[in-house]
Chain A
């Protein structure tokens, strides 16, 4: 069992909570990550800021720019991850970001640094399976999961290619669009999750546009995990270095709804 597989085997769907590293400054992220854990997040998704986050909506775009303006470097992000690992030995941490910052010094360099920092998995937005001949192998060689994305446009002909080499969990991007904008119709999520679960034994986590406890609960009834990002990042944008407490309270409301949702079904 890995930290990630444990997180999906707790008897309730996992709450995957995203926050941009170094927003609003590199010393602000540690307390926010602690607040995510304290509020009940099961998996931490730490965003690596990039100048050109073309899959992200306004909330995460501005978080990226705030972080970079504060001078956040790749070394800072890895240090944030390593410090988190020391404080929280059992909570899985996944890095999410774009290909260029991840591969700038070579895929092996990045994978080795991730291993040193205690990172459990990596989600790379813009390396599809067709181009994954270096990052995926480097990560797997260091015991780190490469978490693949499936989307509403991933048809059944293409799905096996997406699943080949995927591990940790499968991230279902429920909206054809950017982060934080629209939310998907619940029926379309249910249909997609059923299709994905028929094709893989990996846990399926659903994200994009999830904001309220009710939405999170509805997804939790059908999926193995719920990913929340922009709504958290907006709280960080609003409260800045004082964001830890409002973030904790918000995560608590989501975690409560997710756990209750699965109990109703039992």
Chain B
């Protein structure tokens, strides 16, 4: 085995001290930002060693975010899948209910952690990018909670399709700047946030919303989101005294997935499946960087990217604005290459079908992002035995998506 990372027999020791996950990750930023990235890493190491930091983080997650989130056995969804399966098939489907968090998604876990870091560093202004608006809402929320000014960059196209979240951010006191450069979506919002940051390095902290970007962001976002997997692992053991057979989560940048997966990576009997957005299909417009991309360098890290032969970044497409990104977090790129995690994809249509199925069987309106995971769950559950267990991350609620879904279903509201 040539990969030294694997010699330790652990998948949980990444990244190395340069922020590399195998050949992925790293710190590909302009020189102006480099000293700041190094400062951030130093401050994060200090915070990790400081029990008061963990205590404040845990306290806010419990009393402000509402953690732990429930672990829920989806009995009627399981029964519905079994009804259409071979006898003896149809795994039990469980959900980690991160859509019940304050602000309605897993994004807040990371924002709490990062704003505490920003305060430690004495930064007085917060910026962030957002796609679906969930990370923007979560960032605006923690900025209101801690009294810091907040600027959110959002692709002009996403501003159009996520109006409820734009209004929420404004209610919370954030300034929302529609980005009209490039393709007007998430990657362009990230470019614009980086441009703001480079011009305001002295007072500004950039709260990146997914487990991507220059080191140490992929690591610290993963660590803050790992509360999902740590809780789920303990809850599974407490409830049924066993671990799940398969974990499933949707992937845009991949923060909810890495948060669920990471605490289980060294449990050899737990399989994992990340679900990318296949949009209109992998042969057409999609956002599945692992399935349809190649390794490259964008937004501070080396990872799989949708790109052409000249290295120009391609436009992603997904019905879910939160998955509409042409890259993926570098740890997922590494986990794919090592084979520890399997990756698949679900189309817009499959996600819409899964969205409606969950509404009707469980009385839960999921966001379009986890609807991709649910689509994969319904396929996988049919192939698995009745005594097996799937645990999927329900990483966001669907209130923000009802207009998009209505339009896709041809309903006027």
Q: Which residue of A lies closest to B313 (CB)?
A: A51
Q: Which of A73, A152, A181 contacts B32 (CB 8 A)?
A: A152
Give the complex CA separation of A130 and B216 in angstroms.
Answer: 14
Complex contacts, B198 vs chain A, CB 8 Å: 55, 176-178
Which of A57, A61, A176 is the most central at the interface, judged by chain B CB atoms within 10 Å of its CB? A176
CB distance from B191 to the nearest CB of A (A): 4
Q: Which residues in chain B, 299-318, are within 8 Å of chain A measured between CB atoms?
A: 299-300, 305, 307, 309-313
Q: Which of B32, B34, B35, B313 contacts A100 (CB 8 A)?
A: B313
A191–B313 alpha-carbon span in the complex (Å): 39
Q: Any chain B CB within 8 A of the CB of A158?
A: yes
Question: Which secondary structure dominates chain A's binding surface?
Answer: loop
**CB-defined interface of A97-110 with B at 8 Å, one 1/0 digit per residue?**
01111111100000
* A104 lies within 8 A of B30 (CB): no
Enumerate the 6 nearest inter-chain pairs by beta-carbon distance, A residue then B residue, closest first: A104-B311, A177-B199, A101-B311, A100-B311, A99-B297, A151-B32
26 contacts between A and B (CB under 8 A): A51-B312, A52-B182, A52-B188, A52-B299, A52-B313, A54-B194, A55-B195, A55-B198, A57-B195, A61-B182, A74-B310, A74-B311, A100-B311, A101-B311, A103-B297, A125-B30, A126-B29, A126-B30, A127-B297, A128-B28, A128-B29, A151-B30, A153-B36, A154-B31, A158-B34, A176-B201
Which residue of B26, B32, B36, B311 is within 8 Å of A131 (Cβ)? B26
Nearest CB on B from A26, distance (A): 13
Q: Verify if B63 is at the interface (C-beta below 8 Å from A).
A: no
| B18 on interface, CB distance cutoff 8 Å | yes
Contacts of A178 in B (CB 8 A): 195, 198-199
Query: Are B182's CB and A149's CB within 8 A?
Result: no
Neighbouring B residues of A130 by C-beta, 8 Å: 18, 26-27, 34
Q: Bound complex: CA of A149 vs CA of B32, how far in Å?
A: 9
> Does B181 belong to the interface (CB within 8 Å)?
yes
**Chain A residue at minimal CB-CB distance from B192:** A54
A65 engages B182 (CB within 8 Å): yes
* B310 near A104: Cβ-Cβ < 8 Å: yes
Contact B30 A55 (CB under 8 A): yes
Check A173–B296 contact: CB distance below 8 A.
no
Taking beta carbons and an 8 Å cutoff, which residues of B are in contact with A? 18, 26-36, 181-182, 187-188, 190-191, 194-195, 198-199, 201-202, 296-300, 305, 307, 309-313
Q: Are B35 and A101 in contact (CB under 8 A)?
A: no
Which residues does chain A contribute within 8 Å of B201, judged by CB atoms? 153, 176
Contact with B along A29-52 (1 / 0, CB 8 A): 000000000000000000000111
* Beyond A52-B313, A101-B310, 13 additional pairs, beta carbon < 8 A: A54-B195, A74-B311, A98-B297, A103-B311, A104-B309, A130-B18, A130-B34, A131-B26, A148-B31, A149-B31, A153-B31, A153-B33, A176-B201
Contact with B along A132-169 (1 / 0, CB 8 A): 00000000000000001111111100100010000000
Cβ of A68 under 8 Å from chain B: yes
**Whole-angstrom distance from the CB of A162 to the nearest CB of chain B?**
7
B29 near A51 with CB under 8 A, answer no
Q: A100-B297, A176-B201 are in contact. Are A128 and B311 (CB under 8 A)?
A: no
User: Which residues on B sit within 8 Å (CB–CB) of A154?
Assistant: 31, 34-35
Chain B proximity of A189: nearest CB distance (Å): 15
Output the nearest chain A residue to B188 by Cβ-Cβ distance: A52
Choose among B34, B35, B182, B199 the residue that contacts A181 (Cβ–Cβ < 8 A).
B199
For A, the interface residue count at a CB cutoff of 8 angstroms equals 43
Task: Please measure, in the bound complex, the distance between the C-alpha atom of A148 and the C-alpha atom of B32, giving whole angstroms.
Answer: 12
Q: Mark A110-132, 1 if CB is under 8 A from B, else 0.
A: 00000000000000011110110
Query: Which parts of A58-73 form the interface with B (CB within 8 Å)?
Result: 58, 61, 65, 68, 73
* Chain B residues, Cβ within 8 Å of A65: 182
Contacts of B297 in A (CB 8 A): 98-100, 103, 126-127
**Shortest distance in angstroms between B24's beta carbon and chain A's nearest beta carbon?**
12
Q: In the bound complex, do residue B305 and residue A100 qualify as a contact, i.e. CB atoms below 8 Å apart? A: yes
Q: Is the pair B312, A101 in contact by a Cβ cutoff of 8 Å?
A: yes
Residue among A53, A148, A176 making CB contact with B199, cutoff 8 Å: A176
Assess whether B34 is in contact with A128, with CB atoms less than 8 Å apart. Answer: yes
Name the residue among B26, B30, B198, B297 with the largest chain A CB count within 10 angstroms.
B30
**Which of B195, B296, B299 has its CB near the most chain A CB atoms (within 10 A)?**
B195
> From residue A46, how far is it (CB to closest CB) to chain B in Å?
15
Nearest B residue to A152, CB-CB: B32
Residues in chain A near residue B187, CB distance under 8 A: 52
> Shortest Cβ distance from B129 into chain A, in angstroms?
11
Given A52-B191, A52-B313, A54-B194, A131 and B182 touching (CB < 8 A)? no
Q: Which chain B positions have C-beta within 8 A of A153?
A: 31-36, 201
- A171 to B, closest residue via Cβ: B31
Residue of B nearest to A72 (CB): B310
- Residue pair A73, B182 in contact (C-beta under 8 Å): no
Of chain A, the residue at the smallest CB distance from B311 is A104
**Contacts A100-B298, A100-B311 given: A51-B34 contact, CB under 8 Å?**
no
Q: Are A127 and B28 in contact (CB under 8 A)?
A: yes
**A152-B33 Cα distance, complex, nearest whole Å:** 10
Which residues of B have CB within 8 Å of A152?
Answer: 32
Q: Which residue of A lies closest to B191 (CB)?
A: A54
Residue contact A73 to B310, C-beta cutoff 8 Å: yes
Q: Kindly identify which residue among A54, A58, A162 contacts B31, using a CB–CB cutoff of 8 Å.
A: A162
Name the residue of chain B whose CB is nearest to the CB of A130.
B27
Tell me which residues across on chain A come within 8 A of B28, comparing CB atoms. 99, 126-128, 131
User: Which residues of chain B are near A98, meaning CB under 8 Å?
Assistant: 297
Q: Is the CB of A131 within 8 A of B27?
A: yes
Find the A residue at minimum CB distance from B39: A153
Point out which of A58, A105, A126 has the most chain B C-beta atoms below 10 A from its C-beta: A126
Is A104 a contact of B307 with CB atoms below 8 Å? yes
- CA–CA, A150 and B31, complex, Å: 7
Q: Are A100 and B307 in contact (CB under 8 A)?
A: yes
Q: How far is the CA of A154 from the CA of B188 in the complex (A)?
A: 27
Tell me the smallest distance from the CB of B301 to a CB of chain A, in Å: 10
Complex: chain A residue closest to B38, CB-CB: A158
Q: How far is the CA of A126 from the CA of B141 in the complex (A)?
A: 32
In the bound complex, how far is the Cα of B311 from the Cα of A61, in angstroms?
17
A100-B296 contact, Cβ under 8 Å, with A128-B29, A130-B18, A150-B31: yes
